[in-house]
Structure 1
Amino acid sequence: MKNRTLVRGRRAVLITAAALCLQPFGASAEDAYPAKPVRLLVAYPAGGLTDTLARALAEGLGKQLGQTIVVENKGGAGGIIGTDQAVKAAPDGYTLLLTIPGPITSNLALYKKLPYDPRTDLRPISDIATARTVLAVNAAVPARTVAELIDYAKKEPGKLRMGSWGPGTQPHTIQTYMAKKYGVDILHVPYRGEGPMVTDLLAGQVNVTVGSVTALQQHFAGGRLRPLAVTGPRRARSLPDVPTFAEAGYPDDAYRLTGPITLMAPARTPQPIIDRLGREVSALVKSPAFSKRIEDMGAEPVGNTPSEAASAYTAYLPVVLKLTADTGVTLD
């Protein structure tokens, strides 16, 4: 009886092993994923474009994957804290990062030592959208063009206080660039995120910024804020009447650069999971409903593949590093 039991047990093991061998190689990790909720880290507080986009992405992608995606805001240190948490997470697809360019590009030039290297510790899944930013002032500032703003800064040194969503971000870079090129006295005031910065901009605690169209456009119609120019090579779709810096007479490279908001994963995340996420995200972003949702935020949808996002990052990085170095901004 005991021998028969052993034989049956061995047969069961052999049958199970044979069945596993028949499964396509590499399919199991992708087919089983995701088997539990996924964390989506945002390296800034709630209220800004990245957070808004993350929540929309979590909702849409969660439905496609059939699993909950939980957004976690981990702000601080110019995006370093949240990015570092993503880097140190298990590379199993259950911790992802949605980030603006700063933590994975300019921070390499701004800090002598980072706790991570985005070039080797993270890998792109997809560029979700291109963020459009706009130079804007509080309505109390008597400037309606870029030229008038620079003239005001020269005549009233120390009166302009440029808010940013952290050290080394685009507003900080542009503030430093303007101060250096035009010899103007503009104070940089960093915040832990764009949401708190916009609150103080409306209250007049700071009176100028280069902020996301998403966060600022609702305040233009009411007259509390005034847009002067958008960054990038063309006008923003959601602000068609606002000129680019180049159209305003300032074609400098510092004002032409725009960057993507990118979904990333720890570098050693299995390729089947990266591929699955890449397909799902690309399909979601390119769907008419989600594309419109992104455009309504004041951003422009992208939704490229992992390989395309990686190539874009490789091309974009040296441009940002040179621009950052040229402005002279340093943080340590």
Structure 2
Amino acid sequence: MNLPRSCRRRQALGAAIALALLATQSAPAHAAGTYPDKPVRLVVAFAAGGLTDILARTLAQALSQRLGQPVVVENKTGAGGIIGTSLVAKAPADGYTLLLSTPAPLTAYLALYKRLPYDPRTDLRPVSDIAMARTVLAVNPSVPARTVAELIAYGKQNPGKLRMGSWGQGTLAHTIQAYMAKTYGIDIMHVPYKGESLMTTDLLAGQVNVTVGSVTMLQPYFASGKLHPLAVTGTNRAKRLPDVPTFAEAGYADPSYRVVSPMTLLVPARTPQAIVDRLGKEVSKLVNSEPLGAQIEAMGAEPVGNLPDQAEAGYKALLPVMLKLTADTGVTLD
């Protein structure tokens, strides 16, 4: 049957629209199938030289080989990690902008700030926990304390003389500083830095005299006596510091001292599942094999390399713990 010309036009237009919709719907799958076909950038929200930066550059080099495209590390510092984290949260969800983050911008900041330019629960998605960063309470030799108890006693007897450096607001060092000040009635000044390497420089010089910093950054100065370790966070001793007790072994089993910090790789929340799975699979293989796993251990961290669903479950479990610890300190920043 011959249709009127107007009907044939409507049919042709309908077919064209259907084809366009089909192409649009299949685009993410096609993009995921060819991913990546250009360089990938890995954002670090802290200054160069700290554990997050060192780990990111080590991961980027190995991941470049697995993906067949350069993975370029970019340090986007400022506001304790908020600037870099916000950049990734608002980036196109195409797998070409990644974030390696410590827990603070993803957890504690929800309690510290009334408003953030992003919501880590809905704007970002975990791909893999690369490693657990082990941290250690350490002092400059000018502080006459070699145990946690001696540090607390010194702080009580010398109000205002303890200056605790951290690599930013809301970090574990800041949380512990506020917790110790409130719990033991110690006047401890918190001094935030844009990165851990800057903080370590001032710790060695005595500008700040106590910190909770990564084993990676501080361990080289223990043997020489330039710094003294007092206790490590977590439920077990750090492999790189087998002679240093945990806080619990030192007599302080408070929840604040049991927290360890996952270093998590994330992408914008709407990144296609196929890309998330690809990244998670590649990262997991790398972290759980040589040489990357050994390199992470040499940094003083503990390799994890879990898959996206495991990393997401870990985040959901950590979030209420960090929110409570942060809220218990009573600290707010705006």
> Does the aligned pair in 2 maintain the 1:29–1:272 contact within 8 Å?
no
Equivalent position SS for 1:119: helix
Tell me what 1:169 maps to.
171
> Does the aligned pair in 1 maintain the 2:28–2:272 contact within 8 Å?
no
How far off its partner does 1:156 sit?
1.1
Unmatched segments (≥5 aa) in structure 2: 1-18
**1:150-194 Cα shifts (integer Å, max 9, x gaps):** 111111111110001111111111111111111111111111111
Choose the corresponding residue for 1:240, options 242, 249, 273: 242
Alignment of 1:253 onto 2:252:
no
Choose the corresponding residue for 2:308, options 296, 306, 309: 306
Alignment CA distance shift 1:35-1:25 (3 Å) = closer
* CA root-mean-square deviation: 1.5
How far off its partner does 1:288 sit?
2.8
- Residues of 2 paired with 1:152 and 1:115: CA distance? 40
TM-score (normalised: structure 2): 0.91
Alignment of 1:150 onto 2:162:
no
Taking the TM superposition and a 5 Å limit, the aligned residue runs for 1:199-218 are: 199-218=201-220
Give 1:232's aligned amino acid.
G
Q: Which runs of 4+ in 1 moved over 3 A?
A: 24-27
> Does the aligned pair in 2 maintain the 1:102–1:169 contact within 8 Å?
yes
Choose the corresponding residue for 1:129, options 107, 110, 131: 131
Tell me what 2:272 maps to.
270
How far off its partner does 1:53 sit?
0.2
Give 1:323's aligned amino acid.
L
Percent of pairs identical after alignment? 70
- Residues of 2 paired with 1:220 and 1:288: CA distance? 28
TM-score (normalised: structure 1): 0.92
**1:52-75 Cα shifts (integer Å, max 9, x gaps):** 000000000001111101100011
Tell me what 1:93 maps to.
95
- Residues of 2 paired with 1:319 and 1:70: CA distance? 33
How far off its partner does 1:25 sit?
9.6
Tell me what 2:298 maps to.
296
Equivalent position SS for 2:291: helix
- Residues of 1 paired with 2:177 and 2:126: CA distance? 29
> Does the aligned pair in 2 maintain the 1:93–1:265 contact within 8 Å?
yes
How far off its partner does 1:28 sit?
2.4
Unmatched segments (≥5 aa) in structure 1: 1-16
How far off its partner does 1:289 sit?
1.6
Taking the TM superposition and a 5 Å limit, the aligned residue runs for 1:183-194 are: 183-194=185-196
How many aligned residue pairs are there?
A: 312
**1:9-42 Cα shifts (integer Å, max 9, x gaps):** xxxxxxxx9xx99xx9975223311111101000
Task: State which drifts further: 151-160 or 116-125.
Answer: 151-160
- Residues of 2 paired with 1:270 and 1:285: CA distance? 23
Equivalent position SS for 1:36: coil
Give 2:31's aligned amino acid.
A
Tell me what 2:223 maps to.
221
- Residues of 1 paired with 2:55 and 2:247: CA distance? 26
